[in-house]
Amino acid sequence: SDFVKNINREFTVLTQKSALLKLPDFQRSLHNTEGDYNEWVPLQDASFYSMDAQNIQYGGGHSKIEFCDLLQKERNFIHVKKYGGSSVFSHLFNQGVVSGELFVSDEKFRKLVIEKIPNNLSIFKSLIPKGRPDARDYTVIFAVISSKTLNLPFFSKITLKNAKRTLEGYGYNVFLIKVGVS
């Protein structure tokens, strides 16, 4: 029971800490999918660039990695998912861990990320250094689209705790935020 209490306490602290960050609401009248939402956000706020579905061929075979869904000028790498079951959250958290690890450790990966950003968006290109970045300068944000109070299945809370610890081990700041639905 102490393990359960500790996991729930970490989740509560993480969500309270993230209360300062806010993304626009997912609007049912405008968005059918999270992809629609990710394309819409930069139209509302120029501090965002959508990297949703801009998969990077990496690691051989058919391996593709999505760096993030939304890149924000404030050096935020935002991964967005609609509320779902444990498998949805596992994918969300693992996406953040894999791209976060590659970002700090692999110059070739960073080069491929830079190539995905149009030349006329140099402010976003400048966020991705060619040399090894200091992860302490960046934040990985997991954003969950939900019309209800944000809560995760217990399995997903454990997965989030592990993803958070891994990313913080590299130096990243890590947040979990709720995207409201209107």
Record the tokens describing residue 35, joined without a space: 């992809």
Query: What is the mean predicted confidence (pLDDT) over 67-82?
Result: 97
- Cβ 69 vs Cβ 41: under 8 Å: no
Query: What is the mean predicted confidence (pLDDT) over 43-51?
Result: 97
How do residues 108-156 score in pLDDT, each as one tens digit? 999 999 999 999 999 999 999 999 999 999 999 999 999 999 899 999 9
Q: How far is Cα 43 from Cα 65, in angstroms, rounded to an integer?
A: 24
- Cβ 69 vs Cβ 52: under 8 Å: yes
Q: Which one has a higher pLDDT value, 99 or 85?
A: 99
**Whole-model pTM?**
0.95
Please state which of the ranges 11-15, 34-38, 53-57 shows the lowest mean pLDDT: 11-15
Q: How far is Cα 142 from Cα 95, in angstroms, rounded to an integer?
A: 10
Residue whose pair of structure tokens reads 């806010």 in the numeric block: 22
Q: Which one has a higher pLDDT value, 1 or 166?
A: 166
> Residue 13: pLDDT above 90?
no
Angle, alpha carbons 129-133-136 (nearest 5°): 135
